[in-house]
Structure 1
C-alpha cells in the first residue's frame, strides 16, 4: 500500500506465542496475525497486548502478566531483523521502518499491578507503554463493563492514572465502565485511547462508546481503535467488512476523522467479519475507505497517523 502505513492498536497474538501454539513468524501456522502477513500490508506499528485471562485472576495475575511481557521481549529478540520495541518518541521517529515492524507492549488488565502503585514503575521499566485499566471485571483500580455498577476509579486507580501520565504511558479505557471513562478523562493530562472499541450508536454493546464519549475523546485529542469483533459491530445477522467501515464513518462524523483508527483484536476474537479474516485484509479496508469518500489525508490519519499523533503526545 504505497504511501500508507498502518498502526493497529490491539491484538492478542502474543498469548499464542507464549503458549507455544505459534511462532508468529510463519504464515502457514494459521491464526489471524503474524509478522509476514502484517508486513505484507504495511503494518508499521503493532500493539501486542499481554491479556491476563480470568483463570489467572486474582492470585496469579501478576505472574501471568509478567510471563506475557517477557514473551513479547523474547518474540522481538527472536525476530530482531523484522521487529523492534517502541518505548519512546525516538522509536516513533523510525516508523515506518522499511524493514521492521514497531511493537508497542501493552497490558490488558490492571490486575497485573495487584494493589501496588510501584508496579506501574516495574512494568514501565519492562517496556510496557500502554495499560488497559480493567478487563470486563472489577479490580483494585476500577470496574469493567461487565460489572453492573456506577463506580468511578478507586483511590489507587486515580494514583495509577497520575503515575502513567508522569512516566509517559498510554491509558487504555477499552473495557472500562462508563463512569470510569469519565473519571479518567477528567484526571488525565494527556490524550487517552479506547484501543479496541466501536460505536454504541450503531451497536449498543456495553463495550462500545456512546456519541457523547466519542465527542469527549475528540476534545481531549484521544482516539478509538475500531474493533473487528462482529458482536461489537452489529447486533445480529451477517457481519461483513463494510460494518467496520460503517463504524469508522460514524466515528469520523461524530468526532472527526482525527479521532478514529484500528484496534483489530486479531487473535483475541473467535470470529471475524466476512472479508476481514486476517491481517492481510487491511488492504481491502484501504480501498473501502477510498470508495466512501475519505480524502487521502483522512485515510492516512485513520490508517496510522492518529495513533502516531496520540503516542507522540504521550510517550517520553
Structure 2
C-alpha cells in the first residue's frame, strides 16, 4: 500500500525515533509520504523547523538502504520493483513558507512534492478549519496554488477552511488531494468533507485519503470497522478511482481495537464484506495515489 500521511518526522526530530523499512514493509507499506508538520509551538521559527525536519528525513533515508527517496511516480514504481519502501516529503502547514514563494521553490528543490495549505489555524495562505472566521485563500494563497501547479506539487486541502477548499478547487489547474480526511456524512467532525466537497474533488480528478484518526471516524468512539465503513461510503459517493489511504500515523489516536498492522486486513475485509474486486482494492491501496502522483508530479 501507499500511505499518504504520517507525522513520524516530528518524532524523529523530537524523540529520536527511527524510520524502519522493516517495520513499514511488515505493515504492508511500500510507499510512505512523510509530513513536515508545522506545529503552532514553532511560532516564528517555522522555516527553521521545517529545514531541521527535512534534514532528519534525509538522514534516515541515508541510514537505511531499503528506504528510497521518491520525487516522482517512477520512484514509487522502482521501489516496489526493488522490494524497497518509497519515501516522499510533504509539508503540513503553509506556515513553513513564511509568506515567500521563494521558500516554496526551495522546498520543491529539496524534494517536497505536496503541501497541506493550512493546519487548523490561520496562516498567510488561508484560514484553517479551526478558525471561526473561515476565510478563504488570500492573494498570497492564490499565488501559492498557482505556483504549485506550475512546479508540479500536490495541493492538499485537508485541514483547510470550507471557503478555502472551494477557492482551491476553483483556482487549481491540476487535480488536488485531501491527504487525510474522512466522510462528514458518517462523522460530523469539522475536519471531514461533505458529500458535495468529495464529489467536486473527484470531478476534478482528485483523491481523498481515508484516515484512521479516531476523532474523524466516529467522534472518538471508533472501532476498526469504521475505517472500512468510511472507505466504502467514499467509494459509493465519488467512485473507486478517487479513494485511497492517509493514516495520520504518529499524529492521532487510532480506534481502540486497531493496531497499525491491522491495515493488512483492509483488502480482505473489502472483498469479503462489500464484494470489492482485486483491481478495486489495488486502486484504494496504492494505484489511485500512483495515478495522481504521475498526473501532477510526474
Distance 1:275 1:236 in 2: 12
Partner of 1:308: 290
TM-superposed deviation, 1:95: 4.4
Partner of 1:68: 53
Distance 1:168 1:228 in 2: 28
Partner of 1:261: 244
Check whether the contact 1:44–1:97 (CA below 8 A) recurs between aligned residues: no
Partner of 1:22: 17
Distance 1:89 1:226 in 2: 21
Partner of 1:296: 278
Is 1:108 the equivalent of 2:92?
Answer: yes
Moved more, 210-219 or 41-50: 41-50
Distance 1:236 1:272 in 2: 9
Distance 1:142 1:287 in 2: 40
Moved more, 93-102 or 113-122: 93-102
3-state secondary structure, aligned to 2:284: helix
Q: What is the aligned-residue RMSD (CA, Å)?
A: 1.3
Distance 1:192 1:248 in 2: 19
TM-superposed deviation, 1:100: 1.0
Distance 1:258 1:151 in 2: 30
3-state secondary structure, aligned to 2:234: helix
TM-superposed deviation, 1:22: 1.7
3-state secondary structure, aligned to 1:84: strand
TM-score by length of 1: 0.91
Is 1:231 the equivalent of 2:215?
Answer: yes
TM alignment of 1:1-316, pairs within 5 A? 6-25=1-20, 35-57=21-43, 59-79=44-64, 81-235=65-219, 237=221, 239-269=222-252, 271-278=253-260, 280-291=261-272, 292-316=274-298
Distance 2:16 2:54 in 1: 17
3-state secondary structure, aligned to 1:232: helix
Higher-helix-fraction structure: 2
TM-superposed deviation, 1:287: 1.5
Equivalenced residues, count: 297
Distance 1:262 1:70 in 2: 26
Deviations 1:212-268 (A, max 9, x none): 01100110110110110111001354x211100000011001100111111000011
Alpha carbons of structure 1 residues 190 and 52: separation in structure 2 relative to 1, 3 Å: same
Structure 1 residue runs of 5 or longer lacking an equivalent are 1-5, 26-34
TM-score by length of 2: 0.96
Moved over 4 A (4+): none
Deviations 1:2-47 (A, max 9, x none): xxxx01010011111112432233xxxxxxxxx3222024311100
Partner of 1:28: none
3-state secondary structure, aligned to 2:228: helix
3-state secondary structure, aligned to 1:49: strand
Distance 1:102 1:92 in 2: 5
